[in-house]
């Protein structure tokens, strides 16, 4: 009888422990969730603008942009010739241009900017397209020592470049190429980034990859089914390493 009288009390203490544990878990998670609300990501069709355009003119084109307080960053391109675009990025503060950069890639590569991620502070990533390596200044000079240092073999298919950028002046700190690879001949194939996610340490890249996406060791995956593939790669924040990579029906 003594054992039976103590059982409800034990159960009550166990229930209380569970409730308190749940409350503590919620308390621990909440600040992390709130910390992510300041991070903005914007992807879309790249638009053309000049460094002399007003913010109103660029904004009206509805290209990718990220906003923090009075500051807005826009990304796009400058049309150099009928078959050549150069990427461009600009920051306005209260409608006044603070800086504009059009010197990231000035070769015959038909590249443009089409994606941004910004935490409102020092963490800014830009996403650009590339169609091949040509003589002159391009993103290869920023990619030394990073995960993928160049476009690779071939030319024509559009691939991605992800660059960590200093939001105070637009300088590129470092960059990596992100490409697909044809396993039959090693030639570079198309890849387009659709989304970036930042958790304070790692950068998750969601992309569309044509035959075939790469493993963390940069080799081509083995894939079945129809291309393109939805591809996810988790980079370290400094873009030197891919911690994990996956795509449906690929291994």
Q: What is the mean pLDDT of residues 87-97?
A: 98
Q: What is the number of alpha carbons within 13 Å of residue 178 lying toward its C-beta?
A: 32
Lookup result for tokens 């690929």: 250
Backbone phi and psi for residue 36, each to the nearest 5 degrees, phi listed first:
-85, -10
Backbone phi and psi for residue 82, each to the nearest 5 degrees, phi listed first:
-65, -25
Q: What is the number of alpha carbons within 13 Å of residue 131 lying toward its C-beta?
A: 14
For residue 174, give the nearest of 99, 237, 234, 119 by alpha carbon: 237
* Residue 4 binned pLDDT confidence (cut-offs 50, 70, 90): very low
Query: Chain-wide mean pLDDT for the chain?
Result: 88
In angstroms, how far is the first alpha carbon of the chain from the final one? 61
Q: For residue 32, what pLDDT is reported?
A: 30
Contacts of 157 (CB under 8 A, 6+ apart): 131, 180, 188, 189, 190, 210
Q: For residue 235, what pLDDT is reported?
A: 99
The SS3 call for residue 214 is: strand
What is the Cα 8 distance to its own chain's centre?
Answer: 54
Q: Which two tokens stand for residue 48?
A: 């053309």
pLDDT higher than threshold 80 for residue 27: no
Of 2-6, 134-138, 219-223, 245-249, least confident by mean pLDDT is 2-6
What is the Cα 154 distance to its own chain's centre?
Answer: 24
Alpha-helical regions (H) of the chain: 2-35, 55-59
Beta strands in the chain (DSSP E): 40-43, 65-68, 71-81, 84-93, 96-101, 113-118, 124-130, 159-165, 172-178, 180-181, 188-189, 191-198, 202-209, 229-236, 242-247
Q: What is the mean pLDDT of residues 117-143?
A: 98
* Residue 38 binned pLDDT confidence (cut-offs 50, 70, 90): confident
Q: Residue 232 in contact with residue 217, Cβ under 8 Å?
A: no
pLDDT per residue as tens digits for the range 197-246: 999 999 999 999 999 999 999 999 999 999 999 999 999 999 999 999 99
Backbone phi and psi for residue 13, each to the nearest 5 degrees, phi listed first:
-65, -40
For residue 74, give the nearest of 130, 124, 39, 123 by alpha carbon: 124
The SS3 call for residue 139 is: helix
């Amino acid at each position: 009888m003594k054992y039976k009288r103590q059982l409800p009390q034990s159960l009550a203490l166990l229930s209380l422990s569970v409730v308190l544990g749940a409350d503590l878990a919620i308390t621990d998670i909440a600040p992390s969730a709130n910390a992510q609300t300041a991070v903005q990501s914007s992807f879309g069709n790249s638009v053309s603008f000049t460094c002399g355009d007003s913010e109103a003119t660029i904004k009206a084109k509805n290209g990718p942009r990220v906003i923090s307080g009075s500051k807005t960053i826009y990304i796009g391109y400058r049309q150099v010739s009928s078959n050549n675009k150069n990427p461009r990025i600009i920051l306005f503060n209260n409608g006044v241009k603070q800086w504009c950069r059009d010197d990231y890639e000035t070769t015959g590569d038909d590249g443009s900017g089409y994606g941004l991620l910004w935490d409102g502070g020092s963490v800014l990533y830009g996403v650009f397209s590339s169609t091949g390596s040509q003589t002159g200044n391009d993103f290869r000079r920023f990619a030394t020592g990073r995960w993928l240092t160049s476009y690779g073999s071939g030319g024509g298919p559009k691939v991605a470049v992800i660059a960590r950028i200093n939001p105070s002046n637009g300088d590129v700190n470092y960059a990596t190429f992100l490409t697909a690879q044809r396993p039959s001949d090693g030639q570079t194939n198309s890849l387009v980034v659709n989304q970036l996610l930042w958790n304070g340490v790692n950068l998750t890249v969601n992309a569309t990859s044509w035959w075939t996406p790469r493993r963390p060791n940069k080799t081509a995956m083995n894939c079945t089914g129809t291309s393109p593939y939805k591809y996810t790669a988790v980079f370290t924040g400094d873009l030197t390493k891919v911690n994990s990579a996956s795509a449906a029906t690929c291994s």
